[in-house]
């Protein structure tokens, strides 16, 4: 689904790998740090139907290397939150109009470094620095064009949680409910350190060429190394021990050579190689840099006073959740966020040994609490149960 975003009409739909991706031209965008994009296109997917007063719209934000494909829908491709979104699910697409937007700077259809500039050349090294706030401002322009003045709810995990939180503070009148999962109020020094190491792995690849590698072999080695570093933070030490221990990969022998380059791999090394290969096949290295540095910029209190002062502007109901084994976004960060929010906000916990990625794989653990908080049958003025929900309940 990666590639160059070419000029499009104001709105169009495109079938990509069996998935209907819609694209909307939102116009020029001035960015926080002084950059400027003259013609921004945002790619997005939708499920369900927007009601007459546009009160049933739900925005779901993707994580760093995620796409807008939250749910399978009518496609043949699994979505990354399939269990949560769909007919009769917690976010019931017979009741709600669900929207997911590929982040500005990404490589799944929105304007990014691989997109063509006004002269028909890939932006490459000239693509400007983007912050989480920039992306949210762009998303708000798209919401305007879609006729959505207020979201019933905005939710996301990891970088998606950062975007959801920024929505609630930047546009308090437009977010009624906000779920921040496996993400804190700001990127910490350690998270920035991990991110910088990944970015440098890409930039130091000789094939990166300063970001101008389109039309030639790209920095696959650097992108693969970045993914290896990231994936270690996405999983827990306990899971790696349980799954791999010190076992050798197949018939390979880790002590089978007198020179380092000739030895065989441990299973965990093979696992990381596999994760790297998968990402290299589907993701653009420049977009990885742009989105990683955007996440490094995440700080909802920046230029807004203390964290409590910044969050006081939000009027949404909040749902905060953490993964108990997360070593990228530590649970204490979710506690700090919840403590600084207005009122009394509980922190819900996903219990899983696998680490950060449990916000994707174990989202079902949050469904009862999330449904009760945001998606009960009376949360939107007495909307009746959908036909799908009634069928499910009837057996």
Q: Which of 68, 100, 158, 236 is catalytic?
A: 158
Residue whose entry in the numeric block shows the structure tokens 């049933």: 56
Q: Answer for the pair 297, 278: CB distance below 8 angstroms, yes or no.
A: no
- The yes-or-no answer on residue 357 being catalytic is no
Q: Which of 92, 326, 357, 379 is catalytic?
A: 326
Q: Answer for the pair 139, 105: CB distance below 8 angstroms, yes or no.
A: no
Q: Which of 115, 356, 357, 379 is catalytic?
A: 356
Q: Whole-angstrom Cα distance, residue 115 to residue 145?
A: 22
CA neighbor of 200 nearest in space, from 186, 192, 43, 304: 192
Q: Whole-angstrom Cα distance, residue 8 to residue 10?
A: 6
- For residue 320, what are the β-bridge partners? 180, 347
- The yes-or-no answer on residue 326 being catalytic is yes
So which residues are the catalytic ones? 158, 326, 356
């Amino acid at each position: 689904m990666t590639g160059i975003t070419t000029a499009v009409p104001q709105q169009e739909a495109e079938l990509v790998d069996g998935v209907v991706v819609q694209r909307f031209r939102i116009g020029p965008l001035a960015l926080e740090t002084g950059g400027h994009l003259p013609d921004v296109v945002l790619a997005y997917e939708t499920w369900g139907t927007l009601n007459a007063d546009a009160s049933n719209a739900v925005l779901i934000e993707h994580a760093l290397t995620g796409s807008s494909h939250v749910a399978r829908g009518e496609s043949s491709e699994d979505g990354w939150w399939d269990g949560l979104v769909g007919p009769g699910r917690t976010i019931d697409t017979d009741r709600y109009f669900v929207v997911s937007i590929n982040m500005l700077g990404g490589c799944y259809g929105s304007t990014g470094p691989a997109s063509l500039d006004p002269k028909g050349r890939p932006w490459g090294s000239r693509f400007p620095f983007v912050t989480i706030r920039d992306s949210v401002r762009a998303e708000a322009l798209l919401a305007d064009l879609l006729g959505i003045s207020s979201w019933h709810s905005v939710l996301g995990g990891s970088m998606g949680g950062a975007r959801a939180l920024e929505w609630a503070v930047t546009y308090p009148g437009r977010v009624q409910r906000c779920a921040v999962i496996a993400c804190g109020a700001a990127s910490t020094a350690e998270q920035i350190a991990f991110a910088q190491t990944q970015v440098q792995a890409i930039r130091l690849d000789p094939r990166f060429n300063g970001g101008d590698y389109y039309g030639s072999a790209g920095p696959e080695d650097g992108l693969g190394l970045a993914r290896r570093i990231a994936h270690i933070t996405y999983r827990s030490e306990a899971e790696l021990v349980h799954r791999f221990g010190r076992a050798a990969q197949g018939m390979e022998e880790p002590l089978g050579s007198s020179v380092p380059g000739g030895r065989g791999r441990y299973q965990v090394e093979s696992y990381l190689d596999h994760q790297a290969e998968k990402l290299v096949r589907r993701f653009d290295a420049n977009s990885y840099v742009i989105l990683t540095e955007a996440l490094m910029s995440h700080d909802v209190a920046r230029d807004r006073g203390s964290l409590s002062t910044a969050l006081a502007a939000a009027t949404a109901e909040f749902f905060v959740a953490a993964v108990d084994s997360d070593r990228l976004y530590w649970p204490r960060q979710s506690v700090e966020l919840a403590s600084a929010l207005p009122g009394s906000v509980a922190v819900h916990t996903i219990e899983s040994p696998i680490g950060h990625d449990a916000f994707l794989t174990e989202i079902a653990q949050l469904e009862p609490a999330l449904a009760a908080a945001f998606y009960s049958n009376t949360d939107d003025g007495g909307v009746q149960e959908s036909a799908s929900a009634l069928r499910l309940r009837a057996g």
